[in-house]
């Protein structure tokens, strides 16, 4: 006992009286310092102008979740009361992904914008163009006019391990370039009602309103996630945040840059998670994992490949399938016409079934060629939910996104405008509107009847 105590005292004294120059720990810097220096220049502050006169009333982004304690990052506060005399300003974060000015962020940061500004860490401000957005993953790509931007590398989120150190950089409450650190708390979080396709990284790095769209980085300074949501009862940090994995974000980003939209694979089944009771019912081993097919859509790729209700999908292209949510994600991130091989257990016998995926039809929104030409980026059929949101009981098409600086933008068409008629023809669907606009591009005449706020008026689109 005395020997142990003595050794401790010697160590203590040697440390206590050591010269500063002889102790390497005095000059050692945290690895977080290097990450912050490397990554901060590539993180941007996004300022969004919203037009209350055009939309009438906005839904508070903090109410977008089904659960009260899920909150969007749309800082600095959640006060979205109507201000008829001035544009509303919302703020968020993004990060540069290329020298020529492409910026990755969350869709919910920019979805109601009619003007987007990007402010770099050095204070330079740019007008930004919305290249494309994806509602299903809550991602958006912007473009600024530059040729030598400081940008961040997208790392491999699949290589990330639970317990690994991570760094979050963002602009919470307008406190630009704020750096926080934490660990990866979990991977593959799903069924959170944050977005349709979910495979979130969970972290305890401090994240607050305004961080939305910012990077989650590993200690090499590579982006391994896009900060998207938090769990909170207070409106601020409570130790649980979620980030979209970089591999998913890269897939979506490349598609948006190339096409302006995301083309998704489609299988045409209704999947169900495999429970212990179902394992017993199907006579499967306890260690068997997979997803059960409960329904096969008529005429779908699944039906053409002879998949049947009761089939258990255990792998897709050699990758294990464990949950229905995972299977939906995997298929949705593949391309239409892509060939995949499903490993299926049917009547206790393993089969390998080849399927040619179809194209997923997005019924929520449409981005149509003629509309895109005049700057109407996204439109949506007026659903019952939208009628309640906009306080209108008739039929029409809701404008969800306008390209800044476009013909439609210059004609004072704004997100939230409800198009009731075009060239004196009533419109009920995005397809009908697109058809009329397509003819109008040839005739150089387009007169829209729109509802903006509580006012119905004509807008002449100057083609």
**1 lies in some domain:** no
Would residue 304 count as lying in a domain?
A: yes
pLDDT band at residue 258 under the 50/70/90 scheme: confident
pLDDT at 462 over 90: no
Domain-terminating residue out of 261, 295, 311: 261
> Taking all residues of the chain, what is their mean pLDDT, rounded to a whole number?
82
Task: Tell me the residue range of the domain where 428 lies.
Answer: 369-461
- Based on the fold, state whether residues 242 and 288 are members of the same structural domain: no
Q: How far is it, in rounded angstroms, from Cα 311 to Cα 408?
A: 50
Question: Which residues carry out catalysis?
Answer: 108, 138, 212
Q: What is the pLDDT of residues 311-341, one digit of tens each?
A: 999 999 999 999 998 898 899 889 899 999 9
Domain co-membership, 47 together with 143 = yes
- Of 209, 243, 261, which closes a domain? 261
CATH number (domain holding residue 420)? 2.30.42.10
Pair 229, 119 in one domain = yes
- Note whether 83 and 145 are same-domain residues: yes
Q: How confident is residue 3, by pLDDT bands cut at 50, 70 and 90?
A: very low
267, 344 Cβ separation under 8 angstroms: no
pLDDT in tens, 130-172: 888 888 899 999 999 999 999 999 999 999 999 999 999 999 8
Number of domains composing the chain: 3
C-alpha to C-alpha distance for 426 and 449, rounded to whole angstroms: 9
What does the alpha-carbon distance between residue 376 and residue 120 come to, in Å, rounded to a whole number? 28
Residue 14 within any structural domain of the chain: no
> Do 328 and 248 belong together in one domain?
no
Length of the chain (residues)? 463
Residue at which a domain ends, from 331, 359, 387: 359
Check whether 55 has a pLDDT greater than 70: no
Closest CA to 353 of 308, 300, 392: 308
Examine the domain organization and report whether 257 and 293 are in the same domain.
no
The domain that holds 217 is classified in CATH as 2.40.10.120
pLDDT at 378: 81
pLDDT given at position 106: 94
pLDDT band at 54 (very low <50, low <70, confident <90, very high): very low
Name, in order, each residue with C-beta under 8 angstroms of 85's C-beta and a sequence gap of 6 or more: none
pLDDT one-digit tens code per residue, 372-430:
889 888 888 887 767 777 777 788 999 888 877 788 888 888 888 999 999 999 999 88
Q: Are residues 165 and 311 in the same domain?
A: no
CA 459 to chain centre: 33
My answer on whether 276 and 334 are in the same domain is: yes
CA distance 373 to 409: 12
Confidence at residue 86, expressed as pLDDT on a 0 to 100 scale: 61
251 and 276 together in one domain: no
Query: At 262, phi and psi to the nearest 5?
Result: -120, 120
Would you say residue 247 lies in a domain? yes
Strands (E), 165-307: 165-170, 178-189, 200-203, 215-217, 223-231, 241-245, 265-266, 269-273, 291-296
DSSP 366: B
69 and 184 fall within a common domain: yes
Please check whether residue 6 lies inside any domain of the structure.
no
- Residue 421 within any structural domain of the chain: yes
Confidence band (pLDDT; 50, 70, 90) for 121?
very high
171 in the same domain as 57: yes
Q: Name the 3-class secondary structure at 21.
A: helix
Is-contact 455 389, C-beta < 8 A?
A: no
User: Percent of the chain having pLDDT more than 70?
Assistant: 83
* CA 197 – CA 325 distance, rounded (Å): 8
161 part of a folded domain: yes
338 and 379 fall within a common domain: no
CA dist., res. 186 & res. 241, Å (int): 10
Task: List, for residues 364-388, the tens digit of each pLDDT value.
Answer: 454 577 898 898 888 888 877 677 7
Residue 9 covered by a domain: no
Q: What is the pLDDT at residue 20?
A: 42
């Amino acid at each position: 006992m005395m020997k142990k105590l003595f050794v401790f005292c010697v160590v203590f004294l040697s440390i206590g009286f050591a010269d500063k120059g002889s102790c390497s720990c005095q000059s050692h810097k945290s690895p977080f310092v290097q990450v912050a220096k490397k990554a901060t220049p590539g993180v941007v502050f996004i300022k969004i102008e919203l037009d209350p006169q055009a939309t009438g009333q906005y839904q508070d982004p903090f109410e977008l979740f089904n659960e009260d304690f899920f909150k969007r990052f749309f800082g600095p506060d959640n006060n979205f009361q109507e201000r008829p005399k001035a544009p509303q300003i919302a703020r968020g974060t993004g990060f540069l992904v290329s020298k020529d000015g492409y910026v990755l962020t969350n869709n919910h940061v920019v979805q109601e914008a009619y003007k987007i500004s990007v402010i770099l860490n050095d204070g330079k401000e740019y007008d930004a163009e919305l290249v494309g957005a994806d509602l299903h993953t809550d991602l958006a790509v912007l473009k600024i006019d530059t040729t030598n931007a400081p940008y961040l590398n997208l790392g491999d989120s699949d290589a990330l391990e639970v317990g690994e150190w991570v760094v979050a950089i963002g602009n919470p409450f307008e406190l630009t370039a704020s750096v926080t650190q934490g660990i990866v708390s979990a991977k593959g979080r799903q069924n959170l009602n944050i977005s349709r396709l979910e495979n979130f990284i969970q972290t305890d790095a401090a994240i607050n309103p305004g961080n939305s769209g910012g990077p989650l980085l590993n200690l090499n300074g590579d982006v391994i996630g896009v900060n998207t949501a938090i769990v909170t009862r207070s409106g601020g940090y409570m130790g649980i945040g979620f980030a979209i994995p970089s591999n998913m974000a890269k897939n979506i980003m490349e598609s948006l840059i190339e096409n302006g939209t995301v083309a998704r694979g489609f299988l045409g089944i209704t999947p169900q998670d495999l429970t212990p009771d179902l394992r017993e019912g199907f006579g499967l081993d306890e260690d068997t994992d997979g997803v059960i097919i409960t329904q096969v859509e008529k005429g779908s790729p699944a039906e053409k490949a002879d998949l049947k209700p009761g089939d258990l999908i255990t792998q897709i292209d050699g990758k294990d399938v464990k949950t229905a949510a995972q299977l939906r994600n995997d298929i949705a991130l593949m391309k239409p016409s892509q060939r995949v091989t499903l490993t299926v257990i049917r009547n206790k016998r393993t089969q390998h079934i080849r399927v040619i995926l179809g194209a997923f039809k997005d019924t929520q929104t449409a981005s149509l060629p003629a509309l895109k030409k005049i700057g109407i980026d996204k439109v949506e059929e007026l659903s019952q939910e939208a009628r309640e949101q906009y306080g209108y009981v008739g039929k029409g098409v809701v404008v969800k996104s306008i390209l800044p600086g476009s013909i439609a933008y210059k004609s004072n068409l704004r997100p939230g405008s409800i198009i009731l008629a075009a060239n004196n023809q009533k419109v009920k669907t995005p397809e009908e509107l697109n058809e009329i606009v397509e003819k109008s591009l040839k005739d150089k005449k387009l007169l829209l009847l729109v509802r903006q706020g509580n006012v119905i008026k004509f807008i002449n689109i100057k083609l």
